[in-house]
Amino acid sequence: MSKLLEVSDLSVAFGQTHAVRGVSFSLEQGQTLAIVGESGSGKSLSSLAILGLLPPQARVVSGSIRWDGRELLSLGDDELRKLRGEELAIIFQDPLSALNPSLTVGYQIAEMFRRRRGARREEARRRAIEAMTEVGIPDAARRAENYPHEFSGGMRQRVMIAMALALEPRLLIADEPTTALDVTVQAQILRLLRKRQEAGLSMIIISHDLGVVARTAQRVVVMYAGKAVESGTVAELYSNPSHPYTKGLLAASPSARDTGRQIQPIDGYPPDITAMPSGCAFHPRCPFARERCRTDEPELRIVAPGRTSACHFAEEVLTHGEAVGNTRA
């Protein structure tokens, strides 16, 4: 199957500081890819680069982002703006800050139909109400007249999903779509996203929650200190990771299957990207670290069919068997 999205050797910098370093991944039509890692790993910056929405002080310094055969990094602002919403859409982590507090949610959704589809006011409002109804907002005609602060966190997230999906994009990027939501609301949002998956929508899920990833994605990229350190199918990576950082993430995550297992946090803290350690960035926290890890930065390499790892001793990590932190429900 041809690749819908191909990100190759992407690097993003703030001044001279590289926050994303040589990241590569791809996505097929109808597939869901998860990008996971701790805060500051570069996962959100990578997704913002795809959409051309990097903060003003950040810039892409190298790499390629191809969407359906088109090089996105060569497009102008107007061309990118047309693609956003029409073909590419995003759900931001904090819907309250992403929505305009001075406009009703119905107006904000309807505006997309007026500007992008040329719909008249009443037609745009009708379609906005339909979009709200489709994502499970009750009494949508009345709630369309409410402002963002009048919605609960879960309902605001539904509003964001309605806006993102209103123009039927081909790719949805969901940045921490269930953060700060209670377990019941989280399950509702995930069911809503899975319904869209089944209809053929391609998705990139940005998350630190491995349980969410297990329930939504087919493939996963693990990022640490701005680099992709492992990739593979969710099933293979969760059952037998090939990078010590992935193994640590799984051990530090609650498991729905093994409720008696003690959670094991990863020792230490992620590195400061302005003062990266020599060699492998994970070596100060890694139980497998040896002298080579302190001096030589490992390259991302194929360690099994469909799997890559940036660890000098990936094969040894693989032989340790099933990860104790398997989070599949």
- Pick from 117, 144, 165: which residue ends a domain? 165
**Which one-letter DSSP state was computed for residue 24?**
E
> Can you list the alpha helix ranges (DSSP code H) found in the chain?
43-51, 77-86, 95-98, 105-117, 121-134, 140-143, 153-165, 183-198, 210-216, 234-239, 244-251, 291-295, 314-318
Q: How much is the pLDDT for 242?
A: 96
| Residues forming a β-bridge with 79 | none
- The pTM (predicted TM-score) of the whole model is 0.91
Q: How much is the pLDDT for 257?
A: 54
- The reply to whether 130 and 182 lie within a common domain is no
CATH value at residue 265: 3.40.50.300
pLDDT in tens, 298-311: 999 999 999 999 99
Confirm if 221 and 308 have CB atoms less than 8 A apart. no
Q: How much is the pLDDT for 328?
A: 40
Q: How much is the pLDDT for 254?
A: 79
Strand order in the sheet with 301-304: 88-91, 171-175, 202-207, 32-36, 219-224, 227-233, 307-309, 301-304
State which H helix or E strand residue 245 sits in.
helix 244-251
- The reply to whether 309 and 220 lie within a common domain is yes
Sign for the pseudo-dihedral over CA of 232, 233, 236, 241: positive
Q: Give the residue numbers spanning the domain of 201.
A: 3-87+169-318
Report phi then psi at 33, rounded to 5.
-110, 135
Q: Taking Cα atoms as reference points, which of 18, 9, 16 lies closest to residue 273?
A: 18
> 327 in a domain, yes or no?
no
Q: What stretches in the chain show pLDDT beneath 50?
A: 256, 322-329
| Domain count for the chain | 2
- Pick from 121, 149, 165: which residue ends a domain? 165
> 288 in a domain, yes or no?
yes
